[in-house]
Chain A
Amino acid sequence: MVPALLVIAAILLAGSPFVVDAAPYEASMGIVSKIFYFHVPFAAAMLTSTFVSGIASAIYLIRRKPVADFVALAAAELVTVFGVVVLVSGPLWARKAWGVWWVWDPRLTMTLVMWMIFAAYLILRRFGGPGSEVLSAVVSIFGMAVAPFVYWSVNMWRTMHPQTSVVPTLPSSMAEPLWWCMAAIFSLYAALLLVRVGIERNRAALEAAYIALED
């Protein structure tokens, strides 16, 4: 499963520069608009990952299956990694499109807050000591629940970022490269998630073996 996903991701990613290059320039932004083809898929994968982590954490809290915890941790790490890509590529684009690096828009604020919550999750995992996997599960669930509130409250406060409704209205010359990149990023996401879960599973098995040896 993992090698297949990695091969798909590699082929799609290798092809993506050519596909994006072939897409027409957006009238008002020129070459900067090409950031779009990576910014949007990474943001979509990041948001998906927050839900993967939150739902896996809820399952872990109820069932106490270790594998649910591994998935929650792997997804939380990917939220922060993909979040860095989103938070770097976004301002680069914004500087050109809006003239400023950052605005307090719902989408931007929500991305930043989600990134901070999952970074806090990782800090808790790292420094919380024994039992922190249960505590971090609660953090992940709250992180997932807080997203709509942040979005709504900042939306009421001010808004600027283009709406998601822009995606279906794209001309096919722009939509096709976008879906190509979506497929590339999501297969990369799935592969990384599975690899990370596997590492975590091995780590737990190794730890259990050590404990068994000592007893």
Chain B
Amino acid sequence: MIGVFRAAWIIARKDLVVEARSRELAYTTLFFALSCVLVFSFALVHGAESPGADRATDAAFHSQLAAGILWVSIAFSGTLALGRTFERERQSETLRALLLAPVEHAAVYLGKLVTLLVLMFGVDLVVLPVVGFLFDAPLGAAPGLLLGVIAAGTLGFAAVGTLFAAMLVRAHSRDVLLPILLYPIAIPVILAGVRGTAAIFAAEPDLGSAFLWFSMLVFFDLVFVTLALWTFGPAMGE
């Protein structure tokens, strides 16, 4: 019996090696995230700004829009990645082997979570500059806090998502059930992420409220990782 963190690291490293060889998840997730940014831009941005338009309202609207589109693409592409990571384990019947391994079940959860986080952070780091470029969002206004909000939000989303994706591996119609279960529960993360990011993107960054949203995300992460660690064992048990 090896330590939980060491076992988690071994599982994560295994997944990352598999992923590094095929790069299937990285490419598909990234491309899907960029497609989301484009689709939502076309849906929400109205043509060229007319010269007479109110500049200030436009700027405020744009900072909201950029934050919203960023988080929608993070959530949607994250769902795609979640489904695929466990589909891989299901196809080769390896999840059972993982669960039979003489390690704590929590280690399996943590290992999967680390893999997904590496993947989703990678996507975040590409999508963020793209959103900054397309919407003229001030990425440099408070880079540390911005990265903190995005990292904390991604962690919260992945923490709940990993648990549900793992549980649903053996359920019927899992592809449909994952977003149905995940989105209502992830609403606080999305909301706090969007509000925090919009506060930083605003023409006059409101760092106080951005920090408040960041703290809420951290608190949410703590509660949900704890709950997930506690329920993962019983839920995957038999």
- Taking beta carbons and an 8 Å cutoff, which residues of A are in contact with B? 61-62, 113, 116-117, 120, 123-124, 127-129, 131-132, 134-135, 137-139, 141-143, 145-146, 149-150, 152-154, 156-157
Contact = CB atoms under 8 A, between A and B. Distances in A.
| The 10 A-B residue pairs with the shortest CB-CB distance in the complex, in nearest-first order | A129-B172, A149-B188, A116-B184, A128-B171, A117-B184, A61-B234, A135-B167, A138-B231, A120-B180, A153-B191
B184 to A, nearest CB: 4
A123 B180 contact: yes
B223 interface: yes
Contacts of B181: 120, 124, 139
Contacts of A113: 184, 187
Residue among B170, B177, B209, B223 with most chain A CB within 10 A: B177
Given A150-B187, A157-B191, A142 B160 contact: yes
B195 to A, nearest CB: 6
A120 B184 contact: yes
Size range of the chain B interface in the assembly: 20 to 34
Q: Is the interface of A mostly helix, strand, loop or mixed?
A: helix
Contacts of B168: 128, 135
Contact of A134 (B185, B223, B224, B235): B235
B216 interface: yes
Residue among B176, B177, B180, B184 with most chain A CB within 10 A: B184
B98 interface: no
A134 B223 CA distance: 20
A64 to B, nearest CB: 8
Contacts of B167: 134-135, 138
B45 interface: no
